[in-house]
Amino acid sequence: MGQEFGRKLRVAEQIKRELAPLVSRTAQDARLGLVTVTAVDLTADLHDAKVYVSCLGGSAQEVVARLQRAAGCFRTVLARRLSLRAVPRLLIHHDETLERVERLAALLKGADSGGEFPRSR
């Protein structure tokens, strides 16, 4: 079981490393702004890979939709570059970490100033 966990992390990191320049280049070509692959999370059977992306300067929904349409091409390139029996299906998701950090910072700033806390969505 320990080896499977280590393999999962190694494969996820390798996918992230190979996918990052592809995603960045695709976003530049489509003029979607700055898009970065922040994390890759694999299922235990290595069948699906959740790819988390952050974007600056573009609509998150549009970025995710365009990248999801290109996921088949990304998977083909990964199949050539990775030595895996089967390349995981890529599921693109928007990474909301930056927005959460900004909301938390606003809450902390409100607590420091003694003012009203901003309402969360």
Among candidate residues 92, 32, 37, the one with its CA nearest the CA of residue 63: 32
71 versus 31: which is more confidently predicted? 71
Instruction: Give tens-digit pLDDT for 89-111.
Output: 999 999 988 778 888 888 888 77
Kindly state the percentage of the chain with pLDDT values over 70. Answer: 88
Q: Tell me the C-alpha distance between 19 and 92, whole Å.
A: 11
Average of per-residue pLDDT across 55-72: 90
User: Higher model confidence: residue 97 or residue 39?
Assistant: 39
User: To which H or E segment does residue 110 belong?
Assistant: helix 97-113
Identify the top-confidence range among 3-12, 33-42, 100-109.
33-42
Q: 3.50.50.60, 2.40.160.40, 3.60.20.10, 3.30.300.20: which CATH number matches 2-95? A: 3.30.300.20
- The pLDDT of residue 2: 56
Residue 39, strand partner residues: 52
Q: Which helix (H) or strand (E) holds 51?
A: strand 48-56
Integer Cα distance of 11 and 4 in angstroms: 10
**pTM reported for the whole predicted model:** 0.80
| 29-57 average pLDDT score | 91
pLDDT band at 117 (very low <50, low <70, confident <90, very high): low
